[in-house]
Amino acid sequence: MKQFDSAQTGNTDVRISRRAAIGIGSTIAAGMLLEMDLFAAPAQRKVVVVWSEGTANVDPASKQVYPDDINTAIAEGLKPLQSKGWEIVTASLNDPDQGISDELLQRTYVLIWWGHKKHRDVKDELVSKIEKRVKDQGMGFIATHSAHFSKPLKQLLGTPCSWREYVADGTSAEIIVKEPKHPICKGVKNFNLPKIERYGEPFAVPTPESVPLDGLYTRPDGQAQSGRMGLCWTVGKGKVFYFTPGHETYPDYYRPQVRQIFVNAVLWAAPKQIA
Ligand code: ZN
């Protein structure tokens, strides 16, 4: 622990500073103390954690696309946030504490979640801590693609969060900016995904407060089918966003438009104040 971290050491500093300040004047002494306090506190940076379950970089079908896992690909796309005072952290189910220690969670402003095959491995205790952090303290939560079935999203929304169908048959999609003035759509224009896993409506979630992104699938037989692509809720004090694309065999998380959406979503979901 650094010397400035403990209250006891802090008091010693106060005494030294006062002694040093004899004859200088209390105003300057106070200034010195203030300066010390600034150095004492670690820089308060907003933390976004990108979590994934550590399967996309292992499975033969997807490891070519995401050799460093999906959390790393999403985190790379968030780099523009660094100049705005954000710290970007990647976390994995394989890490100690399943990637989310109490200490890290307590510093996290926004948690991004990608999972597919290991939802059940996530400990209920961790899920409850995440739920509390969102509802009571205002942390933002972003789930993407197959994380619709993740324990944290289901617990936050309180519904099965299932889609009617899941079909990877060569379907393509247009992602449509439905609410151009929504913060999540800032700088985003309609774009196409040449391949997408089709998640058929209805989506068993509570009525969202907004749907900034809509979508139009084109099936291989030429038939069009609509499906929501970006949905927003407020849960307790926290904001929740779900983004539909992101199947592990498609390079969606490298696409500039998708990366822009994630940057926007982090800024939207971030609490103004956090406990
Ligand atoms: Zn998928």
41 vs 224, more confident: 224
Instruction: List 224's β-bridge partners, or say none.
Output: 218
Q: Is 274 inside a domain boundary?
A: no
125 in a structural domain: yes
Measured in Å, residue 128 CA sits from the centre of ligand 1 at 25
CA of 146 to the centre of ligand 1 (A): 5
Contact (CB, 8 A) for 184 and 171:
no
Q: How far is the CA of 17 from the centre of ligand 1 (A)?
A: 60
pLDDT of 2 reads 29
Percent share of the chain, pLDDT over 90: 82
Tell me how far apart the alpha carbons of residues 255 and 265 are, in angstroms, rounded to a whole number.
15
Q: 250 alpha carbon to ligand 1 midpoint, in Å?
A: 9
Span from the CA of 227 to the centroid of ligand 1 (angstroms): 15
Does residue 7 share a domain with residue 81? no
| 264 found inside a domain | yes
Is residue 192 domain-shared with residue 206, that is, in the same domain?
yes
Residues 35 and 140 in one domain: no
CA–centroid distance, residue 220 to ligand 1 (Å): 18
Q: What is the mean pLDDT of the chain?
A: 88
Is the domain of 135 the same as that of 64? yes
Collect all residues with Cβ–Cβ distance below 8 Å to 200 and sequence separation of at least 6: 163, 164, 165, 166, 167, 225, 227
Q: Please tell me the total count of domains within the chain.
A: 2
The arithmetic mean of pLDDT across residues 156-161, rounded, is 98
Distance 63 CA to ligand 1 centre (A): 14
Q: Are 249 and 143 contained in the same domain?
A: yes
Is residue 34 located within the same domain as residue 90? no
If asked whether residues 26 and 128 sit together in one domain, one would say: no
Residues 93 and 193 in one domain: yes
Q: Answer whether residue 44 shows pLDDT above 80.
A: no
State the CATH number of the domain containing residue 198: 3.40.50.880
pLDDT in tens, 245-260: 999 999 999 999 999 9
Please give the distance, rounded to the nearest whole angstrom, from the Cα atom of residue 60 to the centre of ligand 1.
14
Average pLDDT over residues 212-228: 97
Question: Domain span at residue 34?
Answer: 3-40
For the residues 134-158, what does the mean pLDDT come to?
98
Residue 74 sits in the same domain as residue 174: yes
Residue 94 Cα to ligand 1 midpoint, Å, equals 20
Task: Report the separation in Å between the CA atom of 129 and the middle of ligand 1, taken as the mean of its atom positions.
Answer: 26
Nearest Cα to Cα of residue 229 among 266, 201, 248: 201
pLDDT of residue 117 exceeding 80, the answer is yes
Please check whether residue 194 lies inside any domain of the structure: yes
